[in-house]
Structure 1
Amino acid sequence: MLYRRFEKLIDIFKDAPTPAPPNTVFAFYMYYLRQVWPTFLALLVVGLIGALIEVSLFNYLSRIIDLAQTTPPKDFFSVHGPELIWMVVVALLLRPIFVGLHDLLVHQTISPGMTNLIRWQNHSYVLKQSVNFFQNDFAGRIAQRIMQTGNSLRDSAVQSVDALWHVLIYAISAMVLFAEADWRLMIPLGTWIVAFILSLMYFVPRVKQRSVESSDARSRLMGRIVDGYTNITTLKLFAHTNHEQQYAREAMRDQTEKSQLAGRVVTSMDTTITTMNGVLIVTTTGLALWLWTQSMISVGAIALATGLVIRIVNMSGWIMWVVNGIFENIGTVQDGLESISQPVTVNDQPGALPLKIENGGVRFDGVDFHYGNGNGIIHNLNLDIKPGEKIGLIGPSGAGKSTLVNLLLRMYDVQGGRILIDGQDISEITQESLRAQIGMITQDTSLLHRSIRENLLYGNPDATDEQLWESIRKARAEEFIPQLSDSEGRTGFDAHVGERGVKLSGDIELFARYAKAPVIAITGSNAKSTVTTLVGEMAVAAGKRVAVGGNLGTPALDLLSDDVELYVMELSSFQLETTDQLNAEVATVLNISEDHMDRYSGLPAYHLAKHRIFRGARQVVVNRQDALSRPLIGEGLPCWTFGLNKPDFHGFGLREENGEKYLAFQFENLMPVRELKVRGAHNQANALAALALGHAVGLPFDAMLASLREFTGLEHRCQWLREHDGVHYYNDSKATNVGAALAAIEGLGSDIDGKLVLIAGGDGKGADFSALRAPVAEHCRAAVLLGRDAELIAQALGDAVTLVRVDTVQAAVEQSARLAQRGDAVLLSPACASLDMFKNYEERGRVFAQAVECLS
């Protein structure tokens, strides 16, 4: 068929001419246009002929009028028959043929073919990027750029040929026809062309700028409205309807003003072009009539001049918007280059050979690696793994266990040394052959948005049904897979996972399904490890067979046992994301403050993830002084509260009698605060939270209070180290976010007679440090700052206290010792993660403790 011939003119799956696309806009355009140049050359030729045919029709009209005036009616067809037949052929045969050819080239060849050629080559190139490339950008944005860049490049190229080329030929042809009639007819059109070009140069950039500003304002307005609708439960809970209306009103006012400014430019442009068009019509028609009165042109020439001018006028507005669209598409292509034209950082070497496995020995030979920040995660590592040997990598979070595996898979290239498999340097073999020989089970539960069968067979698409079922039986999945179904009615192996498909469970929900004993579920931005450990010790003191873990210590599924009487689980927001129904006996969100803002879109998204802990809970524990900790669901459930104020009914809090402060339940004093071995208001809050959770599951007060009297706190969590020259030193290295640092500053600062010297800084993970200013001004004498985000913290603190910048923890301790006075305390509470300088917060805390010990 004719359609099929045109649809096959471009091979969308052809190999790219070079390994990487260019990184400049012009070169990027030429890179793809050169691959389809025959099609665009054909489009240029067809466009040229089509424009000439359009102009010739006006010339034929002029010619017919002149012939009718000079030829007797009875002789008209006999004399001019052949010429009239040619006109009919042009209008009824040639014009449809070339319009059809034009449409076939655009709609059957270029539109699907060139667009998907660009997408295919860009997608193929981006797939070669390292894991680091995808970790540093949003997957959705990368995909959108690949999809939109093909559209925009095609549209701008076709528009340039289709519109600008067409109009150029049209204008030149009109000038030639005017010159043939009388050269003076060229003057109005030539003047108009110059004025039109100047108008384009003036208005198009301004329309583009104002349109972008209006679009940005519209996006902000949409974001605020969607934010309110998405978190409607929170909005209703806090009765902030008026506040939300004002929040949206500000964005709506800004969007209206930006839209009005954009409208002004459009109105000015339309008015200017309309005025110019009117002048062109009047001057051309008037000049043509005057020339006719002087017997210098014929009546047909008047019809030709006025017809062509009106046609050009009708095209002028269209051309203005086409040019604006071309610039917008070029901008989209330029934006796409930020992702598409990035150089691949992990490449196969020229002539790289496939990996040949003989024994399977692995050797790390003097390996150095860091994530581009200059501080070694792995330094001079030498490790020999013998063929068939089984090893375990043990270490705290951030120690480099996953990094080591990723280096073996060559997800990253080492900065020093080499990795050998059977004596073959993995940098000299192909990546595909390397990864095909290594089996790996990842920690996250993410699956491809495809069928269960496609996911299971992804590692070996050629596996037989027998091999598939053998794997399923080994994973003990043969019972639940046939029961799966998705929203479109597909079942079993054909059911699709993903956003609109089957919702698969994470390890915490699987744990909840099989746990027979009651579960205490604990989360929060800060103090969850301390409270979890403390509740576990209370349960042991009460004689319970207890299992403590989750995000702390032992993984959830490893805790399952028929002998356990009580589970105490610390849960992170990451674990809760894949937990639909936890069904805890009692659940709590201790507090909410900004954390992991590099993962979540904002505090509302983080808040919703945390609050999944309450789903199915039989009782809840709530922080009276943190409104965001109150559950959004479960109204009417038994609720126990805690806080540093006086307790209410069903509440734990602080009471004061005769100058003595007590931990209290409702109206009963339980124990003096001074008997706690851990200091600070935040530790008092932790003790009250643990009491509330333990009471909810029936732990006796005697056992819980005995545990509190013996609890010395967790390492690196506001841990007292020593006293030197009347100054106390505290290690709170586990304060990896602003909320944790605030708790330590306010808790310890209000509990000592002197002031604090704060040591802070590191990798802030995109946090807002402004909340530190007020408590630092109140409780601190000075702040010693270090690490990557030291300057951001300094900007947030401003002139609140004396600021000192250092490069190392050792220097920070020395400066703090000079700044502190007797009765003060030096507090390491960084408000940041440690990975810009250390393996983890534990190493940071140990270095701090060693530096404090060396003070003399």
Structure 2
Amino acid sequence: MRLSDLIDPFRPAEGPPPGTLFAFARWILKGAWPVLAVAALASAMAGASETGTAWVLGRVIDGVVETGREDFFSATNLGLFALGLGFFVLLRPIVFAFSNFMTSVVVTPAISPLVIMRLHRWMLSQSVDFFDNDFAGRLAQKQAQTANAMTNLVVESINVIFFALASVVGALVLVFSIDPWLAPIMLIWFTAYVLVIRYFIPRVRIRAKARAATRAVVTGKVVDTITNIRTVKLFANAGHEDDGALTAVKNFRASVIHFGRLAATFRLTLMTLAGMLPVFLVGGTLFAWQGGSASEGDIVAAGTISVRLAQMTGWVSFALMGLYRDIGEIEDGMRTLTPDRRLRDAPGATELALSGGEIRFDNVGFAYGRMKGGVQGIDLTVRPGEKLAIVGPSGAGKSTLVSLLLRLYDPEDGQITIDGQDIAHVTQDSLRRTIGMVTQDTAMFNRSARDNIRYGRPEADEEDVIRASDRAEAYEFIQDLMDADGREGFDAHLGERGVKLSGGQRQRIAIARAIIKDAPILVLDEATSSLDSAVEAAIQETLYDIMEDKTVIAIAHRLSTIAHMDRIIVLDDGHIVEEGSHDALLAAGGLYADLWSHQSGGFLGEAAAE
């Protein structure tokens, strides 16, 4: 194992992240603590060497005074020469090099990916509801913010806190060896320093959290606008978006100024306190020298260490503000990222064992936690291999029913079974692997066309990808694709959410993705709504072909696309109000017949939806 791999940056975390700072730090850094302890020890050794520098210089001055100018380079001082040479040329560089190696090569490159991957894996385990209630940009910002802040906190704690503490302890030992009365002077100064830190740091922490929160609002606002830039342009609302961003930026600026005022006062107080240390220590050593209890070298040693500590005070104060700013940003990120919104697999959940593909909704109800909406009292059995269509006005509960089948949400009442197995008691991954889906809002990754199609079955080979794209009537337009980096055809990237494609092109790639997945249960949610009539006709033949030997649930507003399904159910206000074949439902003269009569060009009109 290489030394740079002492910390495994990709080791999974155990359990959910805690909601308190120290417990969260233990969780996010688990597995790295022994190596961090070695890095902290190396930093402390480097800090202690500062005292060694002052002590060696003091001994050299004493040698000068004792032997005089003419005899200083005599054999008497050979040991002193060797001491100085060994300390400054060998020991001190080695200690600092080891400390820098631990932080720069071992710790820093490992902590950031460790934190990012643990937070990313945690976010992937959250339910869809978690993402529905927040901005995508804001969540990404919080994840990056927390990872950066935690990395800075770890590295700077090693480089600053342990280094400074070792320097202070070493200085106490040194001044005590010069004159025991100097130690209380330094302790009084150090106590005052701690009290100043204790007063200011909590306030810095609070204002840092406020600054981080307002900055995240700015990021979320900007990302939300950019994500929906086409809508902004179409509605000529650039001014409105500018006003919203301006308000967020003004709030962020105010929080930065509020933080800056406190930071400036903090620095002034610490620098004033730092200036007192050389005066007290050198002055005290001079008194001791005058009384004969300290040497000239002791004066130099006291002056050297006091000036070094005074200089370090400014560095430490700046670093501490950064550390507590990082703590504030970590806590701000924790509030967003640590809440547990997972839909968990049941204890002992098993893999879904599919035998025929029968789907049963048994008195299922779900209203998104509200008193009304969603679906209520759904009793429905989809037989193995049956082609079932679901129609109804907007808001009737069609998509809710599909979301419950995919277990994006858990029913509030009743249960859903597939081949007699309650989907709440099988693993979510095994459930979703058995269901292929094409949605109206087709989601594309900003990856190659090949990768987007292969997402249905990542191990598929090139021949499978080409065959699926051809069956989905997507092969020809994919051949003509070219992105901004010159990649062509199946290598061309599709842009964020597939913005470089038309709606119909995105839907055809989504159909190719479902074809390549070849799952035994197929869900079509407005699968051809974005296609023109000619392409739709060709795709319908493909869809009928891939429906063979599958259990199919198809949602459609374009009723002509589901007229040949085995059975149609009509939803209204969350209830099944009609059921039967296309012809039977038309003959019944109910809601389905009314919806059919209101269609124009095969679409469900707004009047019918209302």
1:437–1:145: structure 2 CA closer, same or farther, 3 Å change rule? same
1:406 paired to 2:403:
yes
2:58 corresponding residue in structure 1? 62
CA distance in 1, matches of 2:281, 2:479: 79
1:10 paired to 2:10:
no
1:347 paired to 2:344:
yes
Q: CA deviation at 1:291?
A: 2.2
1:97 paired to 2:84:
no
CA distance in 2, matches of 1:34, 1:378: 44
Give a deviation string over 1:485-530, Cα, whole Å, max 9, x none: 111111111111114987111249999xxxxxxxxxxxxxxxxxxx
Which of residues 126, 132, 156 in structure 2 aligns to 1:159? 156
Letter in 1 for 2:370: N
CA distance in 1, matches of 2:222, 2:138: 22
SS at match of 2:25: helix
1:139 paired to 2:114:
no
Q: CA deviation at 1:59?
A: 0.4
Q: CA deviation at 1:111?
A: 1.2
Which of residues 462, 465, 477 in structure 1 aligns to 2:459? 462
Letter in 1 for 2:33: W
1:457–1:508: structure 2 CA closer, same or farther, 3 Å change rule? closer
Larger relative contact order (Cα-Cα within 8 Å, sequence gap ≥ 6): 2
Letter in 2 for 1:24: T
2:195 corresponding residue in structure 1? 198
Letter in 1 for 2:390: L
CA distance in 2, matches of 1:96, 1:349: 57
Contact 2:442 2:507 in 1 (8 A): no
1:254–1:290: structure 2 CA closer, same or farther, 3 Å change rule? same
1:370 paired to 2:362:
no
1:471–1:301: structure 2 CA closer, same or farther, 3 Å change rule? same
CA distance in 1, matches of 2:216, 2:145: 18
1:387 paired to 2:378:
no
1:27 paired to 2:23:
yes
CA distance in 1, matches of 2:76, 2:370: 88
**C-alpha RMSD over aligned residues:** 3.8
Q: CA deviation at 1:214?
A: 7.0
1:124–1:313: structure 2 CA closer, same or farther, 3 Å change rule? same
Query: Is 502-511 or 82-91 further displaced after alignment?
Result: 502-511
Query: Is 423-432 or 463-472 further displaced after alignment?
Result: 463-472
Which of residues 82, 86, 92 in structure 1 aligns to 2:83? 86
Give a deviation string over 1:598-653, Cα, whole Å, max 9, x none: xxxxxxxxxxxxxxxxxxxxxxxxxxxxxxxxxxxxxxxxxxxxxxxxxxxxxxxx
Give a deviation string over 1:437-491, Cα, whole Å, max 9, x none: 1111111133011111100111112223222222111111222111111111111
Q: Any residues of structure 2 matched to 1:293-442 within 5 Å, and which?
A: 293-375=290-372, 377-442=374-439
Which of residues 110, 115, 119 in structure 2 aligns to 1:113? 110
Q: Look at both structures and tell me which one has the larger radius of gyration over its CA atoms.
A: 1
Contact 1:10 1:113 in 2 (8 A): yes
Q: Any residues of structure 2 matched to 1:826-841 within 5 Å, and which?
A: none
SS at match of 1:439: strand
Q: CA deviation at 1:27?
A: 0.5
Contact 1:496 1:502 in 2 (8 A): no
Identity score, percent: 36
SS at match of 2:32: helix
Structure 2 length normalisation: TM-score? 0.75
1:140–1:429: structure 2 CA closer, same or farther, 3 Å change rule? same
1:270 corresponding residue in structure 2? 267
Q: Any residues of structure 2 matched to 1:815-854 within 5 Å, and which?
A: 842=610
Contact 2:503 2:531 in 1 (8 A): no
Q: CA deviation at 1:347?
A: 1.2
1:288 corresponding residue in structure 2? 285
Q: CA deviation at 1:399?
A: 1.1
Q: Any residues of structure 2 matched to 1:541-690 within 5 Å, and which?
A: 557=531
CA distance in 2, matches of 1:19, 1:128: 11
1:218–1:335: structure 2 CA closer, same or farther, 3 Å change rule? closer
Contact 1:9 1:109 in 2 (8 A): yes
1:304–1:75: structure 2 CA closer, same or farther, 3 Å change rule? closer
Give a deviation string over 1:199-258, Cα, whole Å, max 9, x none: 222333444555666788889999999999999x99xx99x9xxx99x97x999988877
Q: CA deviation at 1:333?
A: 1.4
Q: CA deviation at 1:147?
A: 2.4
CA distance in 2, matches of 1:124, 1:382: 36
CA distance in 1, matches of 2:334, 2:263: 30
CA distance in 1, matches of 2:51, 2:215: 43
- For structure 2, the residue ranges without an aligned partner over 5 or more in a row are 509-527, 536-593, 595-605
CA distance in 2, matches of 1:89, 1:115: 37
- Would you tell me which structure has more helix in proportion to its own residues? 2
1:9–1:478: structure 2 CA closer, same or farther, 3 Å change rule? same
CA distance in 2, matches of 1:362, 1:225: 44
Which of residues 501, 505, 508 in structure 2 aligns to 1:504? 501
Contact 2:444 2:498 in 1 (8 A): no
Contact 2:9 2:114 in 1 (8 A): yes
Give a deviation string over 1:252-298, Cα, whole Å, max 9, x none: 99888776655543443333233222322223222222222222211
Contact 1:419 1:426 in 2 (8 A): yes
SS at match of 1:417: strand
CA distance in 2, matches of 1:121, 1:219: 21
CA distance in 2, matches of 1:44, 1:339: 30
Contact 1:55 1:173 in 2 (8 A): yes
Q: CA deviation at 1:314?
A: 0.5
CA distance in 2, matches of 1:280, 1:373: 65
Q: CA deviation at 1:161?
A: 2.7
Contact 1:68 1:76 in 2 (8 A): no
Q: CA deviation at 1:135?
A: 1.1
Aligned length: 515
CA distance in 1, matches of 2:505, 2:462: 31
